[in-house]
């Protein structure tokens, strides 16, 4: 492709993404973001990104709604000769001042911290252990903790792409606020099957994409049914320099039998700058 044409397409692409809608109600863990492919071993690597925005919207002539939003992503990995250790972190804080005269505020915060070990990472069939702490106040999830393990199978791998399959078992503990019953938490403890397929592809020297789809299910004796959850995360990365990358991301979650009466399907589209260190 001609350099001038490539530059024009890149600028147009960034402009379009900057006007994409944004929603912060979904947060999907993509374990592939912190995985790296290098020939060396015994090193640390990681990446972090911060997004900040402030704006207002009409809520009356002299009383606009004011919004403040802060988002942080931080992943770090240690790669040894045989194993890999991943720590993934995400946090989003949204403050809405909807009555400046009376200083009434609404706060919605979401986030997670996830630790994962991949044993015998270079083999086609490897093994994983993981644990996670999560909250999503915007949806009413006060706390989710989980721990488990499983196997990871490398279906395809070359210099430009890779496809991986994973399956395992985990124990999941959840505490939800019931929107129909104030000051009452609904608690769930389930043994679940957790499964995923993930893929990476390098489109050219400056553009790459990665994605993951999860399917998790467990039988709940309280309702005599299986609770099923399907979630996905797709990211497009445009390299701006050796350290800075523009990132756009789409994620979504669908639950057929949520613990409390909430929206079954939620999604998020986000854009931001990522720094590599």
- Following DSSP, what letter does each residue of 118-134 receive, concatenated? EETTTSSEEEEEEEEEE
CATH fold for domain 23-276: Lipocalin (2.40.128)
pLDDT of 6 strictly over 70 = no
| Domain assignments of the chain as residue spans, ordered by start | 23-276
Distances in Å between the Cα of 186 and the Cα atoms of 42, 131, 146, 189, 262 are 44, 22, 17, 10, 13
Radius of gyration of the chain (CA): 20
Calculate mean pLDDT across residues 176-192. Answer: 87
| 3-state SS, one letter per residue, for 67-122 | EEEEEEEEEEEEECCCCEEEEEEEEEEEEEEEECCCCEEEEEEEEEEEEEEEECCC
Q: Does residue 5 carry a pLDDT above 60?
A: no
What's residue 274's pLDDT? 78
Contact present, 269 and 21 (Cβ < 8 Å): yes
pLDDT of 122-168, one tens digit each? 899 999 999 999 998 878 899 999 999 999 999 998 877 899 999 99
- For residue 150, give both structure tokens: 């499983």
Q: How confident is the model at residue 230 (pLDDT cuts 50, 70, 90)?
A: very high
Residues forming a β-bridge with 197: 165, 213
CA distance 29 to 113: 9
**How high does pLDDT run on average in the chain?**
82
Angle of CA points 268, 104, 63, to nearest 5°: 90
At residue 66 the predicted structure's pLDDT band, cuts being 50, 70 and 90, is confident
Q: Which is higher by pLDDT, 266 or 192? A: 192
β-pairing, 141-157 vs 161-178, is antiparallel
**What mean pLDDT comes out for the span 188-196?**
96
Residue 54 to residue 94: CA distance in whole angstroms: 10
Distance, CA of 158 to CA of 237 (rounded, Å): 19
């Amino acid at each position: 492709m001609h350099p001038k044409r490539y530059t024009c397409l890149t600028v147009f692409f960034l402009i379009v993404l900057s006007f994409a809608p944004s929603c912060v109600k979904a947060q999907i863990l993509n374990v592939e973001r912190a995985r790296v492919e290098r020939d060396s071993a015994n090193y640390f690597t990681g990446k972090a990104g911060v997004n900040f925005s402030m704006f207002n919207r009409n809520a009356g002539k002299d009383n606009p709604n004011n919004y403040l939003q802060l988002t942080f992503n931080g992943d770090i990995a240690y790669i040894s000769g045989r194993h890999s250790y991943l720590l993934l972190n995400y946090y989003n804080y949204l403050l809405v001042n909807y009555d400046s005269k009376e200083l009434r505020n609404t706060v919605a915060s979401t986030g997670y911290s996830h630790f994962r070990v991949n044993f015998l990472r270079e083999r086609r069939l490897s093994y994983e252990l993981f644990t996670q702490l999560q909250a999503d106040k915007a949806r009413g999830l006060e706390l989710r903790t989980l721990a488990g393990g499983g196997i990871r199978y490398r279906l395809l791998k070359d210099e430009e792409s890779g496809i991986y399959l994973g399956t395992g078992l985990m124990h999941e503990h959840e505490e939800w606020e019931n929107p129909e019953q104030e000051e009452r938490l609904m608690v769930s403890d389930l043994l679940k099957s957790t499964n995923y397929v993930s893929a990476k592809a390098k489109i050219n020297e400056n553009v790459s994409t990665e994605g993951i789809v999860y399917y998790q299910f467990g039988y709940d004796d309280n309702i005599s049914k299986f609770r099923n959850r399907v979630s996905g995360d797709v990211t497009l990365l445009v390299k701006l320099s050796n350290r800075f990358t523009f990132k756009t991301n789409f994620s979504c979650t669908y639950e057929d039998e949520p613990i409390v009466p909430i929206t079954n399907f939620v999604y998020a589209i986000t854009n931001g700058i990522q720094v590599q260190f």
